[in-house]
Structure 1
Amino acid sequence: MPATDPSASTSIEAIEQKFLCLDGSDAGASLPDVGELLGSLTALHDWQALESRDQCYMVLQQYLVDKHDVDSLVCLLKLRAEWLGDAPAYRDECRDVLASSTKDRLAVAKIESVMTSAERPMAALKRLELLNALVPGAACVDKTWGYGVVKSLDDFYKRIVVDFDRKPGHMMAMAYAAQSLKLVDASHILSVLHADPGAFALMCKERPGEVVLMAVRSFGPMAVAQLQNEMENGVLPPGLDWKNFWSGARRQLKGHPGIRVPAATKKSELVELSEGAVVSGPVDLVQKIAALNDVPGLMASMSEFARTTGAVGLSDEQRAVLADRLCFVLKATATTHSDNDKVRALMLALSFGFTKLPVPMRSRHEEEFAMADDGEVDLLGTLCKPAIVLNAAAKLSAAIVEDLVAALPVDRDPAVGAGLAGVLDEMPYSLLDSLLPKALSADSVSKAAFIAKMAALIQDVSPSYAIVLWICRNQQNPDVAALVTSAALSTKALLCLEPEVMGETLRLQHQIAKIFRDEKWIKGQMERMTEVERSAFYERIHAMEGAWEPLQKRAIEKAIFKHFPDIVAAPVALASPAEATLLSPVTSFRSLNERKERYRVLVEEAIPKNVQDIETARSYGDLRENFEYQTAKDLQRMLLQQQSDMAREIQEMKGTDFSALEFTGKVALGTEVSLIFPDGHGTTYHILGDWDSDLPLGIISRSSRLAQSLMGHVAGDQATIPGEDDGQSVEVKISSVQPLPRSVLEWALGR
């Protein structure tokens, strides 16, 4: 512990005494508040009393596990993640500790949804906190669906059902909900709107300035055009014109000390909160900055100062105030791990002409910054750290990302270029699109490093969607075009369209699919292919299902024929959708849901009962002669094997309602076939998926012997089908082959 704190020994003993009551050693003591205990652990860490810190941590962790207090346990694990530098390996330990703390199925589902991802433990724990807060009745916002209220949570399928304004009853995977949803409180403008639409409409008409203040507090700083888009997207009441609303708001907010409203002609400037008095000039603004102690207010005021005054002609007093407040912000971002605020503060500091700042911080935070030899923070070196660039780019607007890239000396400093090239596969597309043109410019010293890294990434089995999209869009650059052959690039782009993805990856997938609808692009790609490669490329597009709408897909094929009319002079016979479906496991939604229900009963009822039977049999004594115990263990092995088999089968099986299958006139999956037997009687069968069977309705599985003997036949054919007795067969005539009737399609849906 530091010698500068002579009372630390006494304080450590007092803290250790607090934790004694948690392990039962001091039964008479009252239990302290968990928040107080977390503060004590932080104090031990700051005093470098690491042995005491770790002992007390383990006592508290076990106490919270025994009490099944998942929320407090998450706070404790976040604290330890900070001590360990957010090491990725710690995530698995967090998952195991959390899993041991609860038997509640919903809590376990939430833990499994977020703690098995590739995220660092701090981010995963924050997502778990969000999931725990998403209880029925909680208000939230989604970028796509807008405002919503949590309706229910499903622990078996790990889903959340949210009633969004734009999509009531929308089901979301817990893992995706933890990424895309944002909790909102009662003061959020959307909560106020939904609590009392009539009162909110009246406020918009009579007090528009108050509504704008509420909007900026809810959505954050934004340009006027962006604010207009947010307000017109379901916030303003019907019939209220934006122009009139904004004019009224500007009149009411004129001279308001809490908000900065740009001039009417400057729609690109930000509407942002501005704590304190209205400023009349640079001196007043600096005085205001000196008095501020909150990061949002400081960032807004210093950004305004940079726009209105800049770095030219600053007095020593002004530079001292700016340096002091920038140090305050940077220290705060080290504590909160807010890389987006950190990047904005670093860019502001560089714009004011600072190269180093004496940021006071604890030693554990120094690794977040590049430190100069004199112990001050190297601003540009910190800004160029790959981890900071990546984390900030994922949260900043595209405009700020462009400013960030402009500040990075990636084209002048080989070390910076090598560092950023090393994380190309982790970059969001907005960062790639701004950074790569600069890095690949003719006079860039980092060009070779980026070319080599991109060549390696695009040759990977599964390159990132962002890399594939950027290379596809920049084929006009000779250096980019030389990275990979057109045939290989096109194939990798098509492979990106096959998986079911979500979130940002889904957006990139849609952009890649859109590229194929560009006739000029597809012509350029195919011109650089061999004849064999063109044919293979066409066949893959023709066989793909779901990547494009039918009309879009036909337009792509039409463009191919237009420029390469001989490509399919003797086309290879490709399977129809119905025939192609025969190659993969498929069944009706009804049968798939029934199988999932049997799996749920197995996992939640049969296996737990078997475990209880084993424990009961174990209590009878001598296991070698215990028949009940041996019988229960044999059943356990059978049940666990059944669980494994059912889980694999459900994972591999695809559900369908058969309505999208193309009818060819042949007996195939998803067809109705009528037979006439030798004695004159007729029977109709409906051929569905592997797990489908309902003989009263004539529904048979496509894998049954009867269905297999009829496949490929057309109306009027004679066919040999299995007889009622083994080894016998019957000759029948196929009287008709039709698409499935509506009643069978409804059955397949489970109705």
Structure 2
Amino acid sequence: MMHPEAEKLVQAGKLSRPDGEKLSKLQAGACVVHKSWGAGRIAEWDLLGDRLVVDFEEKKGHPLKLSFAIGSLDLLPDEHLLARRVADLDGLKKLATENPAELVELSLKSHGNSMSLDALEALLSPRVVSAADYKTWWSAAKKALKDRRHVVVPAKRTELLMRRDAEGVTPADAMIADLAKARDMKAKLTALARIQKDLDLFTDRSTQLAPAFDEVSNTVRKAWKLHPKEALQLLLARDELAEVAKAALPEGSFKIEELLRDARPTLAEASSALPAALLSRFYRAFPSAFPERAWVQESLNHLTKTGGRAVAEIAAVLDANDELDQLAEFLKRSVRNRQLSTDLLIWMCKERNGKSESVFDIDLGNAIISAIEDDNAAGGPKRVGRLYDAFAEDAGLVGEMVKDADDDELRLFSKRILASQVFDDLTRRSLMGRLIKARPELQELMENNASRQESALVVSWESMEKRKVDLEDLVKNKIPQNKKDIQIAREYGDLRENFEYKSARQQQAVLLRLQSKYERELRNARGTDFVGSSTETVGIGTIVDIEDVVTGAKQTYTILGAWDGDPDKHILSYLSEMAKALIGKKPGEESEVPTDSGASRKVRVVAIRPYITAAA
């Protein structure tokens, strides 16, 4: 009903009837809001003076002409938070202290049931909750809101705080509806996460979640070509929800395996955006997504294209499917061809006692130095520091790399560290100290070979052929048989208590490491028949007669290639300590040679003759 005074103004033609009706509501004591001056309370009605006086929160006793007030003021309901902030600020402060969840819900009701966290803070701070206390207050409010499932607290500040207010609709049904109403895949992913968070609200999960699963399938089927990254994440999140809820996907659902096959060319790039929680699920789908054993090569292809988190997940899937031999072969080839990413190199260092054990050797050390030098030459991208730190700061790393290296490899590796410009003096000295600690003979090698020409591993043709046969037997027989043994042992049951499985896996590590050793040695080997060996001094391909300086006892030794040693026949590898003590000596010269007891004895070189003549 229109106020009598307002009716007079309408009758006099000074106000329209709609304006008169609105003016009738803007009576003294009513709470209003202005878009610029905020909330206030009408303090005075002065129709004769053609004005209203409003006490705004920051502007008390502010007069407004009637026509301006009618057009610019909006009446606030008594329960609106702004009205209560004006009329009962102390009551709101008490509510903030005693029932923060109720205050949040009141804010949402007053704001159309959804608002950003920034908007909530602007509404309550500093008038209701002081700026200094707001962060602590909001933490308490979030905890209290956990029991109010119809209020959705966002995981990120960029998302909206929402209140569901649909009569007769359960919170579970409301969450399914939110998923259906979400406009893009990012919003649907957020809605799906909320469903998983409040899964306990679903009483019949298979039935209630079916519409959500169908919604995801239909969305991905239509949009994956335009948005492969988002589609992949949404489908994986759906599968995770189905697994957690123990709910089967409806018949005809778009499966992750289908997406992997269809999006195969862009998978590596699409997977780069996946959170860590979904990476494992992504790569675990490979064996069923790709026919026969194509999944192995697909996984290996991803190793050099993805980041550090993905490397670990790919290796775990290969390991779980007993494909460590394929991983080892790939890593060896990549080390030789210098095709390893920074993330993969760092992972290999971390896994040196695990999945990369068989390829953790001095070749990897050379590959790491090359990668650091290449990155440095290219201008030093941000990731250079990570690899440099992994190599320079891990106290045990370089020592473990060189433990199986031969003397020449060790000497060349050391010289490379000393010559590299990427290491500062302190780091260079530290690395050399670790190498000498791991291989004490290095110091003598560096001193004795300061002017020595670089040389390959010298071996007889016979021993080289035998080593090739041994390697072929490893690759074609022993390693494949070991792989079968692992697969058979896996069928025996619980792997934690499966002795046969553990034993077979340990043997696999030994065989793969031996394969790497043989391959490295054969790459560095130089075959010879020892023809033309000089007899001026003791050397490779000579027979030397010696006598004990004290007892006069005489012995004859043949010094041949690295793999030719046969103590029972007095044939020495030139890398043996006995041969090293004799090499370079002339007839009549003396030398300290080791004994089986660990002591030494002094011997004199009596005569030297060529091995090939004796053999002939």
TM-score with structure 1 setting the length: 0.36
TM-score with structure 2 setting the length: 0.43
Larger Rg: 2
Higher RCO (Cα < 8 Å, 6 or more apart): 2
